[in-house]
Amino acid sequence: MGSVFVSVVVAVLVVSACGGNGNEDEIRPSISVDVVLAPPSMPDEQWPEDDWEVRITGVPPFTPGDPIMRSWTTREKVADLVHGVVKFNNVEEARRYFRRDDPRSYDEDFPLRVDESASYTSSSADESHLYCLGQEGTSEACATWAYWGRYGQYVVYVDYHAGVTGDRYGTGVLHDGIALSEFLSYLRPFDEHVTSVLAEKS
């Protein structure tokens, strides 16, 4: 009896350590990635004061599965927002990709990796990470924010990139970036869109 109890406790601890909301093995409805992707008008509707416009919509190269991405930029080129969705045939393929291609693994591109994953919990993602990346910065002023989430067999990312502004000498200088709180205000509507679409199709 004692050994059975120990086994149950160990199993509970392992599940708890994995994180997520308990749906890690739940496959989501199979729908087009175009539908899961945020619509072109969403940023401008959410934050009209920023004056967002679509920059690119397309299929990112060298990405497995069924990927799509869309990016927006402010008219003043102060910042870019990127929303991407990658759909896999099953949860296990998505889990492998999620762990292998975690954005903090790109050491050469992003030597700075401030992990703020504990600062945001998605209502439906099975796993998620949130980082301040780049050459320098802090949670109070970060030029590159990256959200990386897995929703069943879908991997979703939301990135914020500060733009380049000119100094008094006409030299391009990277904008200081934004605080974690401001990035979260951008992230939530994207997360809510994905959650809503996948729930509606259940």
Which residues face 130 on adjacent strands? 147
What pLDDT band is residue 6 in, cutting at 50, 70 and 90? very low
Boundaries of every domain in the chain: 25-200
What pLDDT is stored for residue 198 in this prediction? Answer: 96
Torsional class of 24: left (φ above 0), alpha (ψ -120 to 50), beta (otherwise): alpha
Distance CA 2, CA 101 (A): 41
The per-residue pLDDT for range 59-73, each reduced to its tens digit, is 999 999 999 999 999
Q: Which residues pair with 87 in a beta bridge?
A: 66, 154
What is the mean pLDDT of the segment spanning 133-144?
88
What pLDDT digit, counting tens, does each position of 15-70 carry? 333 444 444 458 999 999 999 999 999 999 999 999 999 999 999 999 999 999 99
* Residue 102 pLDDT exceeds 90: yes
CATH number at 25-200: 3.40.1000
Kindly report, residue by residue over 82-94, the tens digit of the pLDDT: 999 999 999 999 9
DSSP labels, the chain: -HHHHHHHHHHHHHHHHH-SSS-TTPPPP---HHHHSPPTTHHHHH-GGG-EEEEEEEPPTT--SEEEEEEEEETT-SEEEEEEEEE-SSHHHHHHHHHHS-GGG-TTT--EEEE-GGG---SS-SEEEEEEEEEEEETTEEEEEEEEEEETTEEEEEEEEE-EEE-TTS-EEE---B-HHHHHHHHHHHHHHHHHHHHHT-
Q: Which has the closest alpha carbon to 162: 133, 128, 187, 188?
A: 133
**pTM for the structure as a whole:** 0.83
Say which amino acid occupies 2.
Answer: G
How much is the mean pLDDT over the chain? 85
